[in-house]
Structure 1
Amino acid sequence: MFSGTPLIDSTQQAKYVQLANQIRDAIQAGQLMPGDELPSARQLGLLFEVNRHTVMAAMQNLVAEGWLLSEVRKGYTVNTQLPVIESVKISQQAKVTEPIAPQFAYAVGDIESPLIPQYKYNFAGGLPDVCCFPFDEFRRSMNRGCRQANASLLHYQSVAGEHVLKTQLLHYLRAARGLTCDDILVCNGSQEALFLIGQAFVQPGQCVAMEALGYPPARKAFQAAGASIVDIAQDEHGLCADSLAHCLSKNDVKLLYLTPLHQYPTTVTMPVSRRMEIYQLCVKHGVFIIEDDYDHEFHYSCPPLQPMAANDPAQIVIYLATFSKIMFAGGAYGLCHSLKTCIEAINSFKANNQSQE
């Protein structure tokens, strides 16, 4: 029986979010199993001393995320498509005793950045309406930053990104994506990050797995590193786990590139059960996952799913994000988060590229 703990009054986290987190944690811990019925909204309201609207908001978010199912006159039950969480944890603890050590390649090559054609009406993906950008506020912030600038910070020594900037980005990731990071690498957009990752991980002839309908610039970045691209089948829920399992058993795959929150170009959001299945396959085969979290700023029915990087015990997820949507694509601001040794290796290639400019 789910009981939970009392909710607290907080200006940082609404009570419906606290309630949703408790139910999600109970499912992940095995306290609530697939098929279990949850107490009614009235019972949960009495238990947590909140009104029915707060309970319904929490439940609707969990349904949208794929943790719960809602049935007329039956209430809410735990999604039966989720793996048995507790047995999965035991299995992972037995097999993954320490983080998987990455293996890196050393070849460094050039990559051609794609140019966006100039049209009067541009329907290319990933381009917000910059006419609505707050230019005056941005200009004032830039002027204030320039008045406080230290000339010594304008040299090459901060290849991974200026400390003050990274501190703000780490705070943003915690607040916006629930992602707690020790360090990040600031990049010139996601394309540079993809190129650097390909150079750091892939030796010529090794494979990178991608969604069959994947992001073309990512494909080019990996091919520039000498990778052979293996296309993985997709269905209405995103990348197919069966197709991935077959691929991993037949090929020397180093990386898996995913856009799980908003698949490009189908816009499908991968459900939690599928993400967990794919993650377990990659742990089994020692494959690192590149999670491209583009478009996470755009969400309507509920907050976006947490990234896979937020629950990564094997430390195999390389998380990418940009500020092309909340700022503008021409700024080419991006970030990369992963295992410390991965960040160090990727950063060394970035430093090498900059020293040659």
Structure 2
Amino acid sequence: MDSPAEIPYKSFVKIDRKSETSIYMQISNQLINAIQRGYIPFGIKLPGTRALSQILEVHRNTIVAVYDELFAQGWVESLPNKGTFVIGKNQEKPLKIKTFEENHLEKYPKSTGFSFKTSNILDNPFEHSTCEYIFNDGVPDIRLTQIDQHSKFYSSILKRKSQQKMLGHYNHDGSEFFKKNLSHYLNLSRGLPISKNNLLITRSTEMSIYIVSEILLSQGNTVLVGALSYFSVNMIFQKAGVDIVSIPIDEEGIIVESVREACQKQKIRMLYITPHHHYPTTVTLSAKRRLELLNLANEYGFIILEDDYDYEFHYDKSPILPLSSADTNGMVIYIGSFGKSLAPGFRTGFIVAPENLMIEMRKYLGIIDRQGDVLMERVLGEMIAEGEINRYLKKSLKVYQERRDHFSDLLNEHLGDFINFQKPSGGLAIWAEWNIPINLMQLSRHCTQNNLFIPKTLLYQNKNITAMRLGFGNLNFDEMEKSIEILSESVKLVT
């Protein structure tokens, strides 16, 4: 059966002679695409190699290689003295040639042909902007990281033959070397009397909380959080189908008496808390309340999920040790991040918990992150062992403390009549409450128009509070001054 003249073979094939993909494979893939979509019908006879080479303006040997590839993949068959035919049905029926639309082969379906469950709970809350100046919720400055030094560690490890073997194995359990050094580091710096068997290495705090939720929470459970809490964590809890109850916060952290009242009213499964610097208000949970919470957890049997997201950043005094360091009954699960002061690619998350829970957690991690990142973990382990982490933290903390002080001075100078805030003892953000009537969304829009981006996730406004969480860690002095100037001018326009 001859190939109909209506088939525009040259329109199917767009050759990119600069591509690393060979020309014969480009042609083969695009012809297969045309067959799959019905533009070259099943059973049709393809042009001879000489004819198709002239149509596509390529060497005949290229088309010979194309037909060999189509035959190898099972798309065509060669019949002696007849020619090359597309394998398939309808060879005896009249051929119907679909109308070809230019570039249609390059288009991917816009939607699925099946239905599926959707959820607005997990809608991405993060925004992005091209503004030159940006406030965030407190992240380090990538410009301060010693990329060259970190890269040398990575390169050195990658060149070692003993380490190259790791590339050929799945290892969701993580690097034993890193876990050993990290457990020792956490013991010395955070008073956690743990071994490597109490550690699970994850990609992020969010992954850690997701794994914890999958194992420990069931639909209908009740979870307590601060009256203002981390939105990403709340999204994970909502996805788990739990009931979230907010507990008020004051200048000493979460109010323990309110936790007790909640326990007396209903069965509480978990309390999520960020005691070192409460998110978003940055207040530190007092030592007295820490002990009271541990006693309540033992009395009522609820889990304390302690998120120590910025323990590395403290300035004025030594940080208060985690609740987990005083837990003797296995009621606290401790999660944190390591290397947050480093470049994003060098950071990792972790979970600290009793060994029986670790066994179950490793099962889940083996499903969602089977390969792990053993090489990077080896790098971090050596940075701990050689003291590089401590040296880098000491240098960067000095810079961040200077930035905190300067940012606080600028806020007092330009916005002191409009906001109230306390200079935080640690962390990379300041919690500022407004004492004047102001629409924060409108303020944010004005700032954006003047090249300062304030994401909506930093804005907290309801009938009881009007506040913002302003990160300073990513801004140098000049950027701070310009950002505060824009913010101050925008305030005048919306009040």
Partner of 2:134: 122
Structure 1 counterpart of 2:186, from 173, 179, 182: 173
Give 2:147's aligned amino acid: F
Change in Cα spacing, 1:324 to 1:235, as seen in structure 2 (3 Å) is same
> Are 1:177 and 1:307, in contact at CA under 8 Å, matched by a contact in 2?
yes
Q: Which has the larger radius of gyration?
A: 2
SS of residue matched to 2:133: coil
Does the alignment pair 1:286 with 2:301? yes
Partner of 1:146: 158
What CA RMSD, in Å, does the superposition of the two structures yield over aligned residues? 2.4
Does the alignment pair 1:227 with 2:246? no
What's the offset of the Cα at 1:175? Answer: 2.5
What's the offset of the Cα at 1:138? Answer: 0.8
> Are 2:158 and 2:164, in contact at CA under 8 Å, matched by a contact in 1?
no
Gaps of 5+ in 2: 1-118, 373-495
1:7-53 C-alpha deviation (Å, 9 max, x unpaired): xxxxxxxxxxxxxxxxxxxxxxxxxxxxxxxxxxxxxxxxxxxxxxx
Partner of 1:304: 319
After superposition, where does 1:9-24 map in structure 2 within 5 Å?
none
> Are 1:126 and 1:325, in contact at CA under 8 Å, matched by a contact in 2?
no
Question: Separation in 2 of the partners of 1:221 and 1:134?
Answer: 34
What's the offset of the Cα at 1:320? Answer: 0.9
> Are 1:316 and 1:339, in contact at CA under 8 Å, matched by a contact in 2?
no
Partner of 1:347: 362
Partner of 2:146: 134
Partner of 2:58: none
Gaps of 5+ in 1: 1-108
Partner of 1:274: 289
Change in Cα spacing, 1:192 to 1:332, as seen in structure 2 (3 Å) is farther
Give 2:263's aligned amino acid: L
What's the offset of the Cα at 1:323? Answer: 2.7
SS of residue matched to 2:138: coil
Q: Share of identical aligned residues, percent?
A: 29
Question: Separation in 2 of the partners of 1:239 and 1:193?
Answer: 22
Change in Cα spacing, 1:142 to 1:262, as seen in structure 2 (3 Å) is same
SS of residue matched to 1:161: coil
> Are 2:202 and 2:348, in contact at CA under 8 Å, matched by a contact in 1?
yes
After superposition, where does 1:102-117 map in structure 2 within 5 Å?
115=126, 117=128
Partner of 1:338: 353
Change in Cα spacing, 1:356 to 1:139, as seen in structure 2 (3 Å) is closer
> Are 1:186 and 1:336, in contact at CA under 8 Å, matched by a contact in 2?
yes
Question: Separation in 1 of the partners of 2:366 and 2:123?
Answer: 19
SS of residue matched to 2:140: coil
Partner of 1:321: 336
Partner of 1:189: 204
What's the offset of the Cα at 1:126? Answer: 3.1
Question: Separation in 1 of the partners of 2:285 and 2:370?
Answer: 40
1:118-144 C-alpha deviation (Å, 9 max, x unpaired): 443332123111101101101111101
Structure 2 counterpart of 1:237, from 252, 271, 288: 252
How many residues align? The count is: 249
Question: Separation in 2 of the partners of 1:346 and 1:126?
Answer: 29
Give 1:265's aligned amino acid: P
> Are 2:308 and 2:334, in contact at CA under 8 Å, matched by a contact in 1?
yes
> Are 2:172 and 2:371, in contact at CA under 8 Å, matched by a contact in 1?
no
> Are 2:170 and 2:370, in contact at CA under 8 Å, matched by a contact in 1?
no
Question: Separation in 1 of the partners of 2:366 and 2:137?
Answer: 30
TM-score, scaled relative to structure 2? 0.47
Question: Separation in 2 of the partners of 1:130 and 1:165?
Answer: 23
> Are 2:227 and 2:249, in contact at CA under 8 Å, matched by a contact in 1?
yes
